[in-house]
């Protein structure tokens, strides 16, 4: 990867000052950014000053064609909204410049719960039947039980290990943001098709997400709520007072967030109402003590609020398209509004051109790398060269 000269200089300065203390808080108040110059500029660009592309259901593969044909006999067009897929995670990182992922997880406390998806049995999809790693207990990654089960990495551990391997080989990368959705929704049986009943997430199982993340990533590889909150009472107070960590101190690191709100969020916060000792950030509105990251998927209705929240210092994820719709129509309204909104994470199913002939694609305007200066939040001294990896 190409190393920007200013970044290398700033990294050397950080290394020389850090000693061996790997638990040092990420927030750096020593740098005076009131007067920005060539020397301190790299240390004044913060995580919320950039915009990157992410993928939606980043692990997903298309349904097996024989399954589509078989079910179309009684339910024509059933797979229209799930007829998309993504490259393996490492390829998305290395070849497409993706810096934000979304992973869906189901709990499997005994192991083997998703070893024989009904759809795989119907279609003879041997690659997803009785796979050894699916027989073990742990969090499994798939979009939906039995029908939309095909995935490029089957367990949370295997998905994160793929990301970790790429990250370790590319230590100057911009911070990665990984959203995790805990799934336990029940699907009603359809005639002879019997759906697997998922394990309902409890607070213990949700906290188990942290455990699996820590199994893959060592502490100094993570940016956690504790790091960002530092000595402030709440996360919101920290980011609106001093701001997010700088890129210089965040390169090579990974952040995680819980995609769920409502019951799952409340359970995750049990015992740690201010996200103490937790790995995941949670989507919280301004005014909540855990406010820092906000999921705002509908830019058509939320565009003005996204600009307001990002200008106030919050991180926002929004979506540039909904499954296969813009990819089929070629309508770029949602995409263009998302890019203009100031959301730091623009999630798409089409970082490459749509296969439906519409020409639809989502890229960052005016840049070839994985990030650009955020159109709403970036300070005037932000330059593309400061974002190079």
Q: Is the dihedral of CA 162, 163, 164, 170 positive or negative?
A: positive
**pLDDT given at position 316:** 99
| Cα distance between residue 324 and residue 3, in whole Å | 37
pLDDT tens, residue by residue, 308-359: 999 999 999 999 999 999 999 999 999 999 999 999 999 999 999 999 999 9
pLDDT bucket at 39, cuts 50 / 70 / 90: confident
**pLDDT given at position 5:** 38
| Cα distance between residue 287 and residue 275, in whole Å | 15
pLDDT at 378 over 70: yes
| Cα distance between residue 141 and residue 204, in whole Å | 18
Residue pair 277/226 in contact (Cβ under 8 Å)? The answer is yes
The average confidence (pLDDT) of the chain is 92
**Global pTM value:** 0.91
Residue pair 114/140 in contact (Cβ under 8 Å)? The answer is yes
pLDDT bucket at 24, cuts 50 / 70 / 90: very low
**pLDDT given at position 33:** 73
Tell me the domains of the chain and their CATH numbers.
5-11+38-387 (3.20.20.190)
Residue 254: left (phi > 0), alpha (psi -120 to 50), or beta?
beta
Question: What's the distance, Cα to Cα, between the start and end of the chain in Å?
Answer: 6
pLDDT at 153 over 80: yes
Residue pair 337/308 in contact (Cβ under 8 Å)? The answer is no
pLDDT tens, residue by residue, 59-99: 999 999 999 999 888 888 889 999 999 999 999 999 999 99
| Cα distance between residue 387 and residue 346, in whole Å | 17
Residue 375: left (phi > 0), alpha (psi -120 to 50), or beta?
alpha
Q: Identify the weakest region by mean pLDDT among 15-24, 244-253, 318-327.
A: 15-24
**pLDDT given at position 30:** 53
pLDDT bucket at 191, cuts 50 / 70 / 90: confident
pLDDT above 70 covers what percent of the chain?
92
pLDDT tens, residue by residue, 216-247: 999 999 999 999 999 999 999 999 999 999 99
Contacting residues for 338 by C-beta, under 8 A, at least 6 apart:
299, 318, 319, 320, 346
**pLDDT given at position 190:** 79
Q: What one-character DSSP code corresponds to residue 47?
A: G
| Cα distance between residue 134 and residue 14, in whole Å | 42
The whole-angstrom distance between residue 176's C-alpha and the CA centroid of its chain comes to 7
How many of the other CB atoms lie within 10 Å of CB of 254?
A: 22
Q: What one-character DSSP code corresponds to residue 46?
A: B
**pLDDT given at position 330:** 99
* Rounded average pLDDT over 132-149: 98
pLDDT at 12 over 70: no
Beta bridge partners of 380: none
pLDDT bucket at 3, cuts 50 / 70 / 90: very low
pLDDT bucket at 19, cuts 50 / 70 / 90: very low
pLDDT bucket at 194, cuts 50 / 70 / 90: confident
Placement of tokens 């998905």 in the chain? 159
Q: Determine which helix (DSSP H) or strand (DSSP E) holds 141, and give its type and residue range.
A: strand 140-141
Q: What one-character DSSP code corresponds to residue 246?
A: B
**pLDDT given at position 37:** 84
């Amino acid at each position: 990867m190409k190393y920007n000269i200013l970044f290398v200089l700033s990294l050397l300065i950080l290394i020389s000052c850090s000693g061996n203390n790997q638990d040092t808080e990420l927030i750096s108040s020593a740098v005076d950014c009131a007067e920005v110059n060539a020397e301190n500029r790299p240390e004044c660009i913060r995580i919320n000053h950039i915009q990157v592309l992410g993928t939606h259901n980043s692990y997903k593969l298309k349904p097996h064609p024989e399954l589509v044909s078989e079910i179309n006999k009684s339910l024509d067009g059933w797979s229209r909204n799930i007829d998309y897929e993504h490259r393996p995670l490492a390829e998305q990182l290395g070849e497409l410049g993706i810096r934000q992922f979304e992973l869906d997880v189901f709990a499997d406390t005994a192991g083997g719960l998703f070893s024989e998806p009904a759809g795989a049995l119907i279609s003879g999809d041997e690659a997803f039947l009785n796979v050894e790693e699916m027989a073990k207990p742990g969090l499994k990654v798939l979009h939906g039980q039995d029908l939309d089960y095909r995935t490029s990495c089957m367990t949370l551990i295997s998905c994160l290990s793929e990301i970790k391997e790429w990250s370790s080989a590319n230590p100057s990368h911009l911070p990665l943001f990984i959203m995790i959705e805990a799934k336990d929704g029940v699907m009603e049986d359809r005639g002879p098709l019997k759906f697997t009943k998922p394990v309902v997430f409890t607070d213990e199982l949700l906290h188990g997400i942290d455990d699996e993340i820590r199994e893959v990533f060592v502490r100094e590889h993570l940016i956690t709520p504790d790091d960002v909150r530092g000595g402030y009472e709440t996360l919101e107070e920290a980011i609106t007072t001093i701001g997010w960590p700088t890129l210089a101190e965040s390169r090579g690191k990974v952040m995680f967030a819980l995609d769920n709100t409502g019951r799952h969020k409340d359970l995750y916060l049990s015992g740690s109402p201010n996200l103490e000792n937790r790995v995941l950030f949670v989507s919280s509105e301004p005014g909540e003590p855990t406010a820092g990251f906000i999921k705002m998927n509908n830019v058509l209705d939320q565009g003005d609020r996204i600009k307001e929240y990002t200008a106030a210092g919050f991180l926002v994820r929004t979506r540039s398209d909904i499954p296969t719709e813009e990819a089929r129509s070629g309508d770029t309204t949602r995409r263009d509004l998302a890019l203009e909104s100031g959301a730091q994470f623009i999630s798409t199913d089409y970082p490459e051109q749509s296969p439906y002939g519409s020409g639809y694609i989502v890229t960052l305007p005016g840049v070839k790398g994985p990030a650009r200066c955020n159109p709403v939040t970036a300070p005037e001294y932000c330059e593309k060269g400061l974002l190079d990896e």
